[in-house]
Amino acid sequence: MSKDEGAEVVLRLDRISKSFGALKANDAVSLALRRGEVVALLGENGAGKTTLMNILFGHYMADEGGVEVFGQPLPPGNPRAALAAGVGMVHQHFTLAGNLTVLENIRLGTERLWARRHPDSRGKVERLSRDFGLAVHPDAKVGRLSVGERQRVEILKALYRDARILILDEPTAVLTPQESDALFATLRKATALGLSVIFISHKLHEVMAIADRCIVLRHGRVVGEVDTHATDKGRLAALMVGGELSLPRAEARAPGPVLMQLDGVTTPDRGAVPGLKRLTLALRAGQITGLAGVSGNGQAALAEVIAGLALPSAGTLTVHGAPVTDWSPRAALAKGVGRIPEDRHHQGSIGDFDLTENAVLEAYRSRFSRRGWMNWRAARAFAQEIIASYDVRCPGPETRIRLLSGGNMQKLILGRAMASGPDIILANQPVRGLDVGAIAYVQSQLIAARDRGAAVLLISEDLDEIMGLSDVIHVISQGRLSPGFARGSMSAADLGLWMAGQKFEGADAA
């Protein structure tokens, strides 16, 4: 799939540099995009991909370097100029207003604020939907749309403004493999019509599938630029990570007794997010149970039940053979449930508290106080112990935790969860947003816990992570749970059909 080398260069980034404090997010990054081509920007989390695109789009201003679109220099720090020049961006976190309709979201900002007459926006949106295969109803409230539909709205927003260059930031993170294929089809239609695409990803197989060329970023620097047809996944991975670091893979083991059992567990729907639908799941000792699924399909509800934040509205939860009635985070902790929350910043830690205070958040009553008086000396010693044994890089236990990197923050949370020797572990997206080194560390700790005989529930949207670590895999879709699949018994494509919900209809009918 080689493109004409001589095609017009539509976008040129020239030696872009950008620092945040001491962190050099982009270091003299250059890039050229030609008409009708898909260039992948590949790199692990924190490599500087999103920063680079935010500079291009005008959300940030570069410290050095310039951007040219269709030969014209783009004024920095001005999203409006980027939009006018034909650059459209689909952000990783959608930028849609949920209280507005699809059409309103698309029209937003395209007309003069005092305009009296409106162009025929509906006709244009309908035509674009048809041409690019982006089905979505223009009058639907965005707040009620599925994630896949919202992404279509985002792409329509860019196309509606006649974007000639599309930037997609991790667009498949929220899609099923099948939805991703549909997205790729849309992108191929776009390039056939002469649009150019920058595709940001850290997933190698996607890059190989869609991109013509691939630019690899590491620590803010371009470390390689290759034609995808002239390389393979292994070489790209080596470029991306820059070393031989490989992720741990768990070997199969014989499972022990059931430590936690959910029977017919149901929780109420929350707006567009489905609750659990008569879900039955057993977590066994010495086993990692992987939960795959597209985000927003009930993972949060399940995690809340296990973490003690919510009681099922129907069904039973049995821990160590006894059904629980009085269920709260404290009760869960008392029953030996260790919890790694999905969101480190909002659930897992208190940013302006120091490491000592964060370390004792869960056990301050049981272990670090007496009759209501805190024992700060013991608390500090405990924090130091976690810092030492979990390799938390920090100036000391009195550092405020928000100054730590994501990886070090996660290590402290991990250490806190593991300190009481839990035999049931909820790991909700434990490595999201971490660099490869921290990912390997966290995953090896989960495997070690399993080997000690703990029952681990691993919730992740990253299918590779689930397939690499889990002894048994369940898929969640619309609050329903698939049967458990033994390690290696299913391909990614098979799991994808479950994730899309198609297999459930068959199972329900049977």
Partner 1 sequence: MSEIIDILISASFWAAVIRIASPLILATMGELICERAGVLNLGIEGIMVIGAFAGWMAVYQGMPLWGGVAVAMGAGMLFGLLHSTLTVPFGLSQHVVGLGVTLLATSSASFAYRLMLPEVTSPPKIAPFQPLHIPGLSDLPWLGAALSQTALTWAAFAMAGGVAFTLYRTPLGLAVRAVGENPAAVEAQGLSVTGLRMGAVIVGSGLMAVGGAFLTLSAFSSFFFEMVNGRGWICIALVVFGAWRPGKAVLGAILFAAFDALQIRLQQTPLGAALPYQLFLALPFILSILALILMSRRAEVPAALMVPYNKGER
Partner 2 sequence: MRLEAIANPSAARRLGLPALAIAATMLVAMLLALIAGANPLAVLGQIAKGALGSKLAILETLNRATPLIFTGLAVAVAFRARLWNIGAEAQLYAGAIIAVVLGTGALGGPLVLPLSALAAMLAGAALLLGPVLLKTRLGVDEVVTTLLLNFIMLLLVGYLLEGPMKDPMGMGWPKSTPLIPEARLPRIVDGLRLHWGFALAIIAAVAVWVIQTRTTLGFEIRAVGQNPEAARFAGMPVNAVLVKTALLSGGLAALAGWSEVAGLKGHLSSDLSPGFGYTGIIVAMLALLHPLGVVVTAIFVAGIFVGSDAMSRAAGVPTYIADMLMATALLCMVLAILLTRVRVVRG
Residues found near partner 1 in the complex (CB under 8 A): 20, 54, 59-60, 79-80, 82-84, 89, 91, 93, 95-100, 104-105, 107-115, 118, 157
341 binds partner 2 (CB under 8 A): yes
Closest CB 362 distance from partner 2, rounded Å = 5
The first and second tokens of residue 100, run together, are 């507005």
Closer to partner 2 by Cβ: residue 9 or 363: 363
Using CA atoms, how far residue 101 sits from 31, 119, 314, 468, in Å, is 36, 17, 35, 40
Query: Taking the complex as a whole, how short is the minimal distance between the CB of residue 304 and partner 1, in angstroms?
Result: 21
Q: Determine how β-strand 258-266 pairs with β-strand 279-284.
A: antiparallel
Pairing label, strands 196-201, 165-169: parallel
- State in angstroms the smallest separation of the CB of 96 from partner 1: 5
- Of 409 and 476, which CB lies nearer to partner 1 in the complex structure? 409
Q: Which does 307 bind (CB under 5 to 8 A by kind): partner 1, partner 2, none?
A: partner 2
Q: Residues binding partner 2: what is the number (CB under 8 A)?
A: 35
Give least dist CB 482 to partner 2, A.
Answer: 28
Q: According to the binding rule CB under 8 A, does residue 32 interact with partner 2?
A: no
Query: What is the tally of helices (H) and strands (E) in the chain?
Result: 17, 23
349/408 with CB nearer partner 2: 349
Say what angle helices 147-160 and 177-192 make with each other, to 10 degrees: 10
Return the SS3 of 126.
helix
Q: Is position 176 an interface residue for partner 2 (rule: CB under 8 A)? A: no
Q: How far is the CB of 508 from partner 2 (least distance, A)?
A: 34
CA angle at 499 for the pair 252 and 43, rounded to the nearest 5° = 75
Least distance CB 111 / partner 1 (angstroms) = 4
- Residue with smaller CB distance to partner 2, 230 or 361: 361
The full DSSP string for 147-196 is HHHHHHHHHHHHHHTT-SEEEEESGGGGS-HHHHHHHHHHHHHHHHTT-E
The token pair at 424 is 């049931």
Distance, CA of 71 to CA of 421 (rounded, Å): 61
Q: Give yes or no for residue 21 binding partner 2 (CB under 8 A).
A: yes
d(C-alpha 327, C-alpha 318), whole Å: 11
Question: Judged by CB under 8 A, which of 65, 66, 76, 143 binds partner 2?
Answer: 76
Question: Residue 350 has which token pair?
Answer: 């208190």
Min. distance of Cβ 345 from partner 2 in angstroms? 9
Least gap, CB of 377 to partner 2 (angstroms):
12
Rounded to whole angstroms, the Cα distance separating 465 from 189 reads 31
Name the residue among 510, 501, 330 with its Cα closest to residue 420: 330
Q: Of 167, 225, 173, which Cα lies nearest the Cα of 202?
A: 173
Asked whether position 79 contacts partner 2 by CB under 8 A, the answer is no
Q: Pick from 147, 237, 374, 492: which binds partner 2 (CB under 8 A)? A: 374
* 463 CB burial (10 A radius; 0-12, 13-18, 19+): buried
Q: Which is nearer to partner 1, 128 or 378 (CB)?
A: 128
Instruction: Indicate whether 353 belongs to the interface with partner 2 (CB under 8 A).
Output: yes
CA distances (Å), origin 454, targets 288, 336, 486:
8, 10, 18
Residue 253 Cβ vs partner 2, minimum distance, rounded to whole Å: 30
405 touches partner 2 (CB under 8 A): no
Give the integer Cα–Cα distance in Å for 350 and 274: 29
Return the residues of window 316-335 that contact partner 2 according to CB under 8 A. 328-330, 332-333
Which one of partner 2, partner 1, none interacts with residue 339, CB within 5 to 8 A by kind? Answer: partner 2
Answer for which of 114, 116, 234, 373 binds partner 2 (CB under 8 A) is 373
Residue of 8, 15, 30, 61 interacting with partner 2 (CB under 8 A): 61
**Pairing of the two strands 64-69 and 72-73:** antiparallel
User: In what helix (H) or strand (E) does residue 12 lie, and over which residues does it extend?
Assistant: strand 9-20
* Binding flag, residue 425, partner 2 (CB under 8 A): no
Binding partner at 470 among partner 2, partner 1, none, C-beta below 5 to 8 Å by kind: none
> What is the Cα–Cα distance from 227 to 382, expressed in whole angstroms?
51
Say whether residue 351 binds partner 2 (CB under 8 A).
yes
Residue 64 engages partner 2 in binding (rule: CB under 8 A): no
Contacting positions for partner 2 (CB under 8 A): 20-21, 60-61, 76-77, 307-309, 328-330, 332-333, 339, 341, 346-353, 357, 361-362, 364-365, 369, 372-374, 376, 403
